[in-house]
Structure formats: structure tokens, C-alpha cells
Amino acid sequence: TARWRHRTMGKKKDVVVRTDVVPTDMMTMEDINSIFDAKDYNLVKKFGRIEGVCESLKTSLDKGLSNNDADDLLTRRQYYGANVYPSPPAKTFLQLYIAGFDDLAVQILSAAAFVALTGGIIQEVTGGEKNAWIDGVAIIVAVLLVTVVGAWNDWNKDRQFQALRDSSAEKEEYRVIRDGQDTKHLVSELVVGDILPLFAGDKVPADGLFIPTGEVVAVDESAMTGEPDHKAKDERHPFMQAGTYVTKGAGKMLVMRVGEESEWGQLLKNLKSDEKNTPLQDKLEDVVIAIGKVGIAVASVVFVVLVIYWILDYAVGPPFSIVQPCDPDANATGTDPKNPSVGGPCFRDTVGIIYPYGGNENKQQINTFDVFQPINLLKILNAFIIAVTIVVVAVPEGLPLAVIISLAYSVGQMTKDQNLVRHLQACEIMGGATDICSDKTGTLTENRMAVVSGWIAGEDFAKVSEINSAKRVKKLLNEALCVNTNDGKLVISEDAKDGADIMSADALSTFKFVGSTTECALLVMAARLGADYEGLQTDTPRAHRWNFSSARKRMSTVVELKEKKKTIYRLHCKGASEMVLKLCTSALDKKGKVQKLGKREKKKLGLEIENLAKKGLRTIGLAYRDFDANQKWGQDEDGSINESALTLISLVGIEDPLREEVPDSVRICQRAGITVRMVTGDNILTAKKIAEDCHIFDPKNGLAMEGPVFAAMSDDEALEVVDQIQVLARSKPNDKHRMVSLLQEKGHVVSVTGDGTNDGPALSKADVGLAMGIAGTEVAREAADIIILDDNFASIVKSVMWGRCVFDNIRKFLQFQLTVNVVALIVALVGAVSRRGTPLSAIQLLWVNLIMDTLAALALGTEKPSDNLLARKPYGREGKLITMTMWRNILGQSLYQCIILFVLLFGTDGEKVLVLPESVDDGVEANENHEASIHYSMIFNTFVWMQIFNEINSRKVGADEYNVFEGFTKNIIFSIILVVIVAIQFAVMYIPVINSAVFKIIGIPWSLMLISIVIGAFSLVVGLLLRLIPVPLEPWEVPVADDDFSAGAIEPNLKEGAATSEDVADE
């Protein structure tokens, strides 16, 4: 048996054991598979069409399953399976570990380890340097550490994103008909036999059969078939597949296959999901490659220099002249070694140089002149190891880790801030956003709509409770409000059901809206007028429906009625007021009689609409038309034939309160150099009023335009004005898509909010698509990069802040890492060329470059965002990773560190170190013999302490950030890591097994340790002095003053050019 496990946030909730026992008198899984595998309607007919299939599955077309029969639901899960889809196969830790060796830096390290280990073993065997193999082993340990840490981080990241995916899936709800009631259930709770209402924009959650309702329904099956055309569903083409989307109409579906049994589930079993590199990762790879090339160049120079020295020392010998021949077999007698006699005996000195032997005072072993003996060739091997080490030091291996750590940390924090990141790159791109094109409803407003005023049959009303129209008017109005609906539903409080006063505000607050909030607002109005909306919907047969679309701006429903013993068909139309008014030729008066609408009356009603819109109200027009006979409604595809000569019933103004936090959030965006634009389908007057209230629209500096006007412009004309458009009203999805394209063409980084099915193209086109988690359709969510879980504009601002934080955290680590690399390269090059050896050994450099930098990546990658991030302009599409401000800090700190290290290295008289208070011997000779010395141990220790304090310096990379300790206590991770690094450094310096055997150093006196710490701490003073030096700034680095902006006044500066820090006041 296979097991099904329902997971919620990684915890086991319950376990259902699959069984092969078919429930009594129910359709078998084989029967269901045969129907869907063949997709042959004749097989459905064989079971008695849709009605017969329902009977075979023990369910009802009208009432669905029983929600109270837990045993039946459990039995269905046990046999047919649960609606839980398999995740793409995750890579194991071992696979991720092996993949770590694909990294170029790791390959270089591995090669260095092999060479060092081989050379060390040869030296040990041939009597050369003792314990030389330890270098090779240490590098192997470093390789293992890097690959294990990388694999663990990738594995942990995969788990985190899987948890996010599972969490998102668990929260997904669908409407289900059970016990005849329209209820909501988690997608994982759906079972075979359920009846699902589906609407345009819904994702089909399981395989099933379409239940014909007389309405045209189209489904986008491209995810399964690859065919772009949308497929119409009817009685003969009823097959619906999980993973597809309803794009038109509304209907019902009988669930037949769920979870892994569905065709989509079978595909997911073998689907591989690999995260691609983010743009920031690609930029960093370019940086790594560039630095690697510099490292290779320096390493090549060092290797060539060391080989030249080897040739001069071993092949030619001092004083670099031809040595007179000698006789290795002659006796060692009597002449001066510097003035040998021809044919005299030979000897080899301590470094292997051949001299003619000249006196009894030198008792070295007599050997044949042979520069190619293994002991000499190992010098070449050591030179190669040094060169490889320089390459390793040059390549900043910690950079990719820093990106992953920062992104993983930020994504987790963004979820807490109501931003569910679906694509990693969206996190960092959002930080560079220059424009946000936002919807109005639900994003800027609360999406809690209510009818507050309007016009009914010739009379204005200021409150719904004031409506006192004639009986016929009320009847037609309630019909229009209740039967011409798509997915709006109300869940009425127990108080209201028990007869409480539903006209009161307290009772109204307990209405729960399900589906369209606009329709729900109209249903509340009907309920307050005394209508039984559920009864009207049940008792009024619907003959046809034309659904709302962004192009039509209206929807209509034809119902069949009996009036005066005669069957009539009544078409109810509702939609944008000006659109509906254009279709009307008459209107009801207060007595319920139909009166003709002339130009004068229409103009008066137009002013009525305008007055409502100026109050910021969304206006809806309600109209109707009677037909004596069926008009073959299906042949009128878009309703344009029958939606004419209508009679106007009412114009209602719907209030959707502005979210309290939106005005401040918009101003924060504007201060941050981000232009917020409202793109809405509402009337332009309504849109302008709302936009002004939330500071988006400034009549003096911006434009408010209607979609049709924008669409009529040529691309050249639109390009000229698109920057000034702050409100685009009465817009269609194509208008939004075009606006995004034009803004991108002008160099803007555009984020777009969307909630509807038709928003998919614009969301995909945008640099960052933001879908609404509550009001958004599945199509919108699938097309988006980030899902705003609470549909709140303030959450979008938080995503901008986190995006900028990621960008800055990477720059912080880059500033720290490059300082280490520059200093290490210069010291290695100068030390080798000057014949002072390599002051920093391979193991010492690996400690700094791999272990310490890895911890620094974790420390700097988890810095939290501050308000200062929104006090500057966005870095846009081509924001530089390394700015002049950073180069000033990197080169300044590098110069300071090099001066200190060279003073320590060269401040000797050949015997003693003159610059240290202690009596310290010159360590050059000991370094040549691979022995530890206080001199070179002091150099290593001072180098490390300068990096430790420079890590604190690197916490700030902004042009106006002088206090590197600001917010220090808020990042506990940084403090802990700093303590860990210090503890490890003390261990390296003073634990005998570690310092002598591995790092080739010895514990220095505590007075010298204190000097090292003071020299390192002085990096903070150097950092402050460097920040006082003015350098050219990128446009986005220039701070924006609090009083330096007004609504719509700040435009992102994306042009090439730079300002200096002295220009900040002018800005």
C-alpha cells in the first residue's frame, strides 16, 4: 500500500492508507482511468452520461457529497486517493555535495591539495622537510568544509522553498457543493465525487467532467497540451484536466481523479525543478572570473620569479659564474673553497649548491653535481603550490555563498511580511524597481465594498435605508441585484438569520463576503431592501449569461419568467455606469413606468455619474430588457446584439475605503525614487479622487488618462507621455501590458500588481509581477514572481526594502572580501619577488579566505533592512555592484593593511625585527626552512585582526553612512559570528597542535597580541577617515532629504553620470 500524508508546515497531520478494495457499488479506478485516458465521450455515454457517472460515484449533481459523512469521505480517500500532488524530486545531500565539485574554485583547491599532498609525501620520503604533507591534508579539509557547507546550504534552501510551496498549497481553498451548500474547502480535502463551481481565472484542481449549464466555458489547456487555443467545454467535450485554467465563463465540474492519479500528478512525479541563477549571481560570477584572471596573472609572475631564483641558486650558483670543475672522487684536502684548485674534491652545501671542496673545516657530504635530484625539484613543486594558493586566494569563493545566504534569509523574512517569493530573482530585482503600476481595488483600498448612495428610478438616495421606491421598481431592482451574479455569495450572521435588524451597522459587519466583493455589496443592498437573494437565485431559471470581461466592462444574465400567464425572457445587465448608460434608450421613473431617454436626460444622468465618481465612489449601472421569445442567445457570442435598447433601473455608488496605511506607503515610495502609478478599470473621476487621496496623482506634475485614449496613441506619442501618466483609468489588460513595455523601453524597472486572469500577460512582462493572494486568480498567481498574501500595498513597500537590503548585503560582503584579496595578492607578490618568502602560507590564506570569509558571508548576509534604504533612489536595471564609494574603502583599507604588513616584514636589520618592542628574530631564514617564527606569526596574526575589524567597517557601504556601529545590536547573528572568529583565531595562535603542525606558527607573547589587536582596531579609524574623502557618487547613492519630495515629483534618474558627495546639498 502507498501512503498519503497531509502536511501542514512540515508537520504530519494525518495519514490515510490507500486500499485496493473498491467501495460498494461504486465506479472502479480502472473505469475512471479508461474514460480519461481515452477522453472518449462515448465511454461517458456508456455509463449514462454525466448523470449516470454521478450515480456510479454515489454523488448528486445538485447537492454533491455529504460533508457530515466522514466515513464516506475517508473511504473515497482510501480508494481513489487524496488530492495532494507530489513535489518535484528533491536532490539528496550526496548529490548536492558532488555537484559542489563543479565549482572552478573547488577544482583549483582540489588540484592544489593533490599537488601539496604528493609533494609533502615525497619530501617526507626523501628526507626533505618534515611534516610537509600536512599542507595537503589541510587543503583537503578546507575542500571538504567548503563543499559540505555549500551542500548543506543548498539542501537547507531547497527544504525552505519546499516548505513555502507546501504552505502556499495548504492555504489554497476551493468552493465545493456539499449537502447542497456552497462551501469552501482546502484543495487537499477534495475527493472523487465532489461537485466544484468554477469561474474564469480558476485553476482546475483535479481531473473531472464538465457539467453543462447552458453557458459557454473555455479552458486554457496549454500547460498540458502545449496548444495555445482555449478549448470550449460542453456536453460532448466535458474532459477537464488538473493544472489547466478556466479563461471564460462559469460552470461546475464533477471530480473524477485527484492528486497523483490525475494526469497532472503523473507529470509532477518526474518533473525536475532547478533554480536558475539570479541576475545578481550572474553579476557576481563575472566579478569572480575577473578577479580570478588577475589572480592567475599574479600567480604566474610569482611562479616565474621563483623559478628564476631556483635556476640562479641551484643551476648556476653564487656568484652566478661558471664554477671550475672539480673531482668528486678526490680527497678533501687543503684549498680555499672560494679559490679551488682544478681537479680538487667537491661538496654540497646546506641548500644543495655545488662547490669545489677546499678545506677540512667544511665536513658536508660529498655528492655529485645534479640539479635534477628530487630534493631540488621539490623547490619547483613548492613554487607551484604557492602560485596555486595565490589563485585560490584571488577567487572570492565566499561570494556565491553570501548571495545564497542573503537571499534565503530575506525570502524567509519576506514571507513574514506577507510577501511569498515564487522566483528568487524577484527578491533582488524588486530592490531596483523604479515604477510600481498598482491596481486600485483591494490593493490601495480595503476591498470591503458597500453601496452608500446613488440614483433609482428618477430619485437620488444618500443611504440605502432611505430608498422607498414603488413596488415594481423594487422588484426589478432586487432581480437585477440578485440573479445577475457570477460568484458573489454572502454568509449571513446567525443574528441576521434569527431576525436581527440587518439594516444596522452591527449586523452588516457580520456579513462574510465570498467571491466578488462588488457583487457581495449589491447582495447586501438587496438583503437590506428585504429580498431573499438565495430564494430569487434558486427560483429564477437562467437561460444564458454573458460574463464580465475587461473589454466589455459589463455582464448580463437572461432569466425565464412567468408574468401574466406568459413566458418572457428578461435580460439583466450591470456594469460600468457610462457603458450601461450608452446601451439604454429608456429609464424607469419613480412609479415604475418606462420613460424614454433623450439627450437631455442622458446628459443629466451623466452628471449624476460624475458627481458620484467625484466622491471617489465606484459607479455601477443596472438595466434590463424584456423579450417575448428565446433569441438563440448562444449565437450572440459577446452579447452585443441583445444588450441594446435597455431600460435603466439604477445607478449605485459603491464605496471602497482607502487602506489607512496606503498614503504614507505611497509617500515612502516617492521618497525612495519610485513612481507609483494607478492602473484601474474604474471611471477616471473615481480613479483621480482615490489617487489624490493616496498621493499618487498630482494634477500639477502628472497626467490622468483613460485607457481608450492611451490605446489610440502611437508608440512614439505614448513614449513621450508615459513617464507623466500617474493614473490610467478605464484601462484594459492590453493597456497595462503596453504601459509596462513602454516604461521598460525607457529603462525603467517595472513591477506590476494584478489579480485577474487577463492580468497574466502584464505580470509576466513586468520585471517583477505581484499577484494578490486573496483576490487574485490562479492564473495571476502562476504568472507572478511574488504573491502579496494580504493584498496590501504596504506589503509591496516592504518587498522593495528587502530587495534593496539583499543588494546592499552583497555589496558589504564584496567590500570585505575584495580587501582581503587585494592585500593577500600584493603581499604574496612582493614577498616572493623580494626573496622574503611568502609571509602568509597556503594554510593561513585558506583560513582567512574560506573559513573566515564563509562566516563573514553569514554575518553580513543577514543584516536587516533599515529606513535608510528608502532614503535614496533605486539602483535601476544597471546598478553597479562596486561603486566608487566602495573602491575608496577597499583601496584605502588595502593601502593601510599593506603598509602595516610591509613594515613588519621589512623592518629588520637582518637579525632582529626593529619595529617590535620584544626581541624578535628576523624570520626570513626560518620561513625558508619551513619553520615557525614569532616574526611571521606576528604578521599572520596582525593580518587576521585587521580583517576582523574591517568586517565591522564593511557593515556600511552608503555614501552618508559614517557610524558603522549603527544597528549593531539588532543583528545578533553578526555579534555571535564575530565572537566565534575571535575565539578560533586565539585557538589557532595558542593551541600547540593547531599552530605548529597545521599553520606553521608559534604562540606570540601577549604584548604582541595586544599590538595586533590595536593595529586591527585602528582600521575603524581609517574607515572613518576614508568616509570623509569625497568621491563621485552613482545617482542612486545620493541621499534624499525628508523635505525634498512631493507626490509625483521624484522621478528615478537612470541616465549615465555621477554626482559627488559634495553635491548632496544641491540635490
Rounded to whole angstroms, the Cα distance separating 426 from 403 reads 14
The SS3 call for residue 174 is strand
Cis peptide before 319 (omega within 30 of 0): yes
User: What are the CA-CA distances from residue 761 to residues 89, 397, 725, 764, 788 (Å)?
Assistant: 29, 39, 21, 5, 18
Rounded to whole angstroms, the Cα distance separating 810 from 284 reads 9
Within 10 angstroms of residue 634's Cβ, the number of other Cβ atoms is: 11
Rounded to whole angstroms, the Cα distance separating 558 from 532 reads 19
Rounded to whole angstroms, the Cα distance separating 962 from 711 reads 50
Binning the chain into helix, strand and coil, the percentages to the nearest 5 are: 50, 15, 35
Kindly state the helix (H) or strand (E) to which residue 646 belongs, with its residue range. Answer: strand 646-655
Q: H-type helices in 672-730, by residue range? A: 684-693, 707-712, 715-721
Largest CA distance in the chain: 145
Backbone phi, psi, residue 768, to 5°: -135, 120
Rounded to whole angstroms, the Cα distance separating 901 from 936 reads 10
The answer to whether the beta carbons of residues 403 and 808 sit under 8 Å apart is: no
The answer to whether the beta carbons of residues 57 and 192 sit under 8 Å apart is: yes
Amino acid residing at 709: V
User: What are the CA-CA distances from residue 601 to residues 63, 322, 415, 457, 595 (Å)?
Assistant: 48, 118, 53, 12, 10
Rounded to whole angstroms, the Cα distance separating 672 from 602 reads 46
Backbone phi, psi, residue 452, to 5°: -115, -25
Active-site annotation holder among 202, 439, 656, 808: 439
Rounded to whole angstroms, the Cα distance separating 445 from 659 reads 5
Pairing type for strands 584-588 and 646-655 reads parallel
Rounded to whole angstroms, the Cα distance separating 1032 from 596 reads 72
Rounded to whole angstroms, the Cα distance separating 699 from 440 reads 18
The answer to whether the beta carbons of residues 409 and 864 sit under 8 Å apart is: no
- CA atoms lying within 13 Å on the CB side of residue 981: 29
Closest CA to 525 of 470, 485, 469, 465: 465
- For the CA atoms of the chain, what is the radius of gyration? 39
Total length of the chain: 1067
Question: Is 370 one of the catalytic residues?
Answer: no
User: What are the CA-CA distances from residue 742 to residues 433, 736, 764, 1036 (Å)?
Assistant: 15, 10, 15, 22
The SS3 call for residue 687 is helix
Q: How would DSSP label each residue in 38-89?
A: HT-HHHHHHTTHHHHHHHHTT--TTTBB-TT-HHHHHHHHHHH--S-PPPPP
Rounded to whole angstroms, the Cα distance separating 939 from 391 reads 21
Rounded to whole angstroms, the Cα distance separating 924 from 935 reads 8
Q: Which three cell numbers stand for residue 280?
A: 545578481
Rounded to whole angstroms, the Cα distance separating 7 from 165 reads 11
Q: Is 978 left (phi over 0), alpha (psi -120 to 50) or beta?
A: alpha
Which residues are identified as catalytic?
A: 439
